[in-house]
Structures are given as structure tokens and as C-alpha cells.
Amino acid sequence: MIKTITKLYENLALRSRILQTFAKRYYNSMISNEIRLGAIHKHDRVLFIGGGPLPMSALMISERTQAHVEVVDCDFSAIQKAKWFVAKTPYNISFHHAKAETFDTKDYTVIIVAKQVIPQHCVLDNIFEKVDRGTRIICRFYKPDKKILISSSKIAGNACLIVA
């Protein structure tokens, strides 16, 4: 349900400055917390999984930290719209049309998984399998389920999982 509502809102917001402003306000404190908790800085290579057509989180992270942000989304149409939207900004963001369950996450220092990404536990399993030591992983949950908590035990010593 949230995935459908988010997608609809983001598609409308692409052409509405008012809706973009509301989106920025919605994400403002969340992004501030994620930047602080993940210690994100300009030398990080950030991967945002589930950026959608309006990659507001990726934009705000790039804007506030000057880090290079890459966005992965499985929806080709969302990627095309996001590229169009971001082309009008000065931020350092690139895009990949791919399934997050198989995407190579090895060379990123920070990985953020959006709430609407499904199935989160499969995406996290892929991340945990491939990340480099010291990678910070931030996952936005509705509420963590048992599958995800079991998966998180696989990362001991390799990465830091931050539940947002």
C-alpha cells in the first residue's frame, strides 16, 4: 500500500514545487538523523536503494554532504523520471536500473534501503553477502520482522546496520 501511495505522490510531485516542498519537509529530520547516524560525509560513496521517480532522499543527502550518491530502482520508468528531475539540479547523483536483490553493493561506504523496497530481507541478504568491512547500512523499516533480524546476524564484524 505504502509503495503505491509513495509512487503516486512522487509522480505528482515531479511537476509541482509545492508537493516537492512537502516531500522535503517530510524527509528533513529523517535525512538529518541518517546523515548523523551513518556519519555520512563528502568522501563517502552512498547507494540509495529504492529511489523512485522523485529521489528526494538522494538529493538531500548529496546536497547536505556533497557525497556522490547512486540510486538503484527496479522500475525503469521511475529511473527515467528521476534522471530527468535530477538533471535540473547541481547534485552528484547517478542511477542504475537493477534489482536490488542482485545488485553489487561491494564498493559503497554507505547503503540506505528505502521503506518501500520489497522484499527487504532479500535485499539485505544480498547487501550483507557483498559489503566491504566498515560499510554503514541504514534500513528504513515499518517495523523489523524476524526474517530481517535473522539476516542481520550475518553481518557481524563486516558492517554496521542502523535501523531507521
- Per residue of the chain (164 residues), give pLDDT as tens: 666 788 888 878 888 899 889 889 988 999 999 999 899 999 999 999 999 999 999 999 999 999 999 999 999 999 999 999 999 999 889 999 999 999 999 999 999 999 889 888 899 989 988 888 889 999 887 665 544 444 444 544 445 565 55
**Furthest C-alpha separation in the chain:** 44
Would you state the pLDDT for residue 109? 94
Question: Nine-digit cell at 93?
Answer: 547523483
The CATH number of 2-163 is 3.40.50.150
pTM comes to 0.86
Would you state the pLDDT for residue 64? 97
Domain spans of the chain, in order of start? 2-163
Smallest CA-to-CA distance from 89 within 14, 38, 25 is with 14
Q: Hey, how many other C-beta atoms are within 10 angstroms of the C-beta on 80?
A: 13
Give SS3 for 153.
helix
Q: Which amino acid is at 58?
A: A
Would you state the pLDDT for residue 52? 93
Cα torsion 17, 22, 25, 31: sign: negative
According to DSSP, the residues that pair with 139 across neighbouring strands are: 113, 163
Would you state the pLDDT for residue 63? 96
Q: Is-contact 42 65, C-beta < 8 A?
A: yes
Q: Hey, how many other C-beta atoms are within 10 angstroms of the C-beta on 90?
A: 7
Would you state the pLDDT for residue 151? 47
